[in-house]
Amino acid sequence: MSNDPIKPDPNQKLGRISKNAAFLMLSAVVLLLLMQSLRGQENASARISYSEFIQYLDQGGVSKVTFRDRSIDGEFRRTVQIDGADFTTFESMTPGDVSDGLLSELASQNVVVDAEQPQAGWGTFLLTALPWLLFIAFWIWIFRTMQGGGNRAFQFGRSKAKMITPDTPKVTFADVAGADEAKEELTEIIEFLKDPSKFSRLGGRLPKGVLLVGPPGTGKTLLARAVAGEAGRPFFQMSGSDFVEMFVGVGASRVRDLFEQGKAHAPCIIFVDEIDAVGRHRGAGLGGGHDEREQTLNALLVEMDGFESNEGVILLAATNRPDVLDPALLRPGRFDRQVVVDAPDVKGREGILRVHAKKLPLADDVELSVIARGTPGMSGADLENICNEAALLAARRDGDKVSMSDFEQAKDKVMLGTERRSLVLTERERKLTAYHEAGHAVLGLKVPGLDPVHKVTIVPRGRALGITASLPKEDRHSYTKEWMLGQLAMLFGGRVAEELIFGVNAVTTGAGNDIERATSMARRMVTSFGMSDVIGLIAIGDNDQEVFLGREIQQRRNVSEHTQRMVDQEVKRILDEAHKMAHDVLGEHADLLESIAQALLDRETIGRLDLEALDQGAPLPPLPKLEESPEVLEPPKATPAADPDPRSFGLGGEGPLPELAPGYVVEEDPEVF
């Protein structure tokens, strides 16, 4: 990190001077109160009753009295001892107004009579001094907050950016795996900061902005932390939401202050996480605070590439919504580079697992490469979660090391959800679920081009009563029409199996999720992918989009009612053909459907090798016998024969449909609530 001294803020010196002045004023008020109290003690008088006052008056012992409303202050003609103390003055109260008789008696005794306005008491004095005390306290609060942090008074316009100091725990590029291209791009930025002459000698300039783009959980923020650990220069980090405040103009002021701090420590890096909070398209005019957000964005645009240059200040930002950012923010000169941080491939997944497994005591049977091949499409955050769940499972069974079976169970839990053994299904529901999942499995086995089915279970997990998991043989980045049509047929496999076994009128709501995903997929085939001969190669926009992104509200409907009707007809035709394909395949392989369903009812979970054996008509290995023990409280889980080869173990959660993201595919029978 840099050892450059941070320039003192002149406002802090002014605040200290003003604070001292306010302290002196408060001390003066306290001194006046103390003097008033001491003066009252010095002029202490004897407190006597009105009767005693009349007695002293009759005896000629009073020389002077002063009336203040109903109070009487007087002087004795000689020193009087009361309760062992000598007094020359006294205080008393009259029961009413001063009578003429009392005045005559005083005159006859040659007593000097005087009258004064009532003196202000402590209550009156405090009420008089209270406004001044409040005024002094207010200024003390103002001056203290001027020296405080960014969330205090008059600090709304100051940046909330935190500067990474040398004593902060460092994250380096060695802690980041699966993003080699992104690390290469960022390494060049770091080298530029350390040795600008290496690049500037050929006329190159320092990039002003780098935007990290990628799905959630792929390591964008982790890369930024690694840049902070590797750069060796001042690094300011801030969230996009930190610019937003309830007061108008605060966001723009914070942007200016942020870049002022950056210029004071140049060359440096400023990292803004989730920049889409302030960088969305301008001009929507909807939703509260849009004018304030646009002012903040305008200030950011000017600071990045405006009339004044900010040489040596690199803005590093991250977002998973680059489609909503304003085009002016993405142009060269502002964000010169967009670094894509996508889901890792099999090599990247293995590297990520090795990084997270460093702190775990691994058993000898753990093969991280096998786990990496069985988790296609998963992000770095998902893989970290699998490692953490595996460690927790090992600790739960009081193990000393994390074994391969712990990782397999962790994959089940992360991808498919937690088993709900406590959910008791009736025999009819178990049978319905078994045939439903068997229908998916038969389509997965018999339709060419589909991903291999790796596990089928009727053990409830999450909200699903049953799950059929498919795993591609390799990472998939694009999809063929053949695959999509086969996938539609597989989605309808569960419903068709119910129709064939229980009748059309006995179908259940379990296929609701399948139908929803199939409909969305078929509509995208027609409107986005150009896979309909009737509609042709035309993209048909969908107006049901978010209106607060800035640009969608300006889109007009460019599709006629006739074309929209044709789209609906094509979607219906594709779905009907997929339903017919599923019906034909299951009708042709009714014996396989029956055998898979019976195996599910007996074993609850079957794996890839079991499915292949059933497909070939071979009997399954017998279930292992359980030792009689009172501690066995639940039925056995999947048998070892269900998935004897860990290299073929591949499970998944909610599949890529309708998003069609790379990775595993899961067909599930949703629970009905």
Peptide bond before residue 658 is cis, with ω within 30 degrees of 0: yes
Give the integer Cα–Cα distance in Å for 611 and 451.
14
Alpha helix positions (H), 368-423: 368-373, 380-396, 404-416
Our measurement of the distance from residue 331's CA atom to the centroid of its chain's CA atoms, rounded to an integer in Å, reads 28
Alpha helix positions (H), 43-121: 50-58, 100-108
Give the integer Cα–Cα distance in Å for 407 and 399.
13
Q: For this structure, is 437 an active site residue?
A: yes
What is the DSSP track for 177-209?
-S-HHHHHHHHHHHHHHH-THHHHTTT----SE
Kindly report the number of other CB atoms within 10 A of residue 594's CB atom. Answer: 15
Give the integer Cα–Cα distance in Å for 234 and 619.
67
Output phi, psi for 221, to 5 deg.
Answer: -65, -35
From the number of C-beta atoms within 10 Å of its C-beta (0-12, 13-18, 19+), residue 600 rates as buried
Output phi, psi for 80, to 5 deg.
Answer: -115, 135
Structure tokens at 610: 């079991």
From the number of C-beta atoms within 10 Å of its C-beta (0-12, 13-18, 19+), residue 645 rates as exposed
* Residue among 618, 622, 613, 673 nearest 645 (CA): 613
Beta bridge partners of 237: 162, 271
Sequence-distant (≥ 6) Cβ neighbours of residue 582 within 8 angstroms: 439, 443, 489, 490, 492, 493, 495, 496
Query: Are 437 and 467 within 8 A, CB to CB?
Result: yes
For the CA atoms of 51, 53, 54, 60, what is the dihedral angle to 10 degrees? 150
Structure tokens at 663: 């990775």
Q: Please, what is the angle between helix 427-446 and helix 590-603, to 10°?
A: 130
Give the integer Cα–Cα distance in Å for 422 and 414.
19
Give the integer Cα–Cα distance in Å for 657 and 517.
6
Alpha helix positions (H), 417-505: 427-446, 481-491, 493-502
Q: Please, what is the angle between helix 561-588 and helix 427-446, to 10°?
A: 100
Sequence-distant (≥ 6) Cβ neighbours of residue 159 within 8 angstroms: 150, 236, 238, 254, 255, 257, 258, 261
* Residue among 500, 518, 470 nearest 586 (CA): 500
Catalytic one of 350, 429, 437, 671: 437
Strand 464-470 and strand 665-670: pairing? antiparallel
Query: Are 455 and 608 within 8 A, CB to CB?
Result: yes
Beta bridge partners of 210: 316, 337
Which residues are designated catalytic? 437
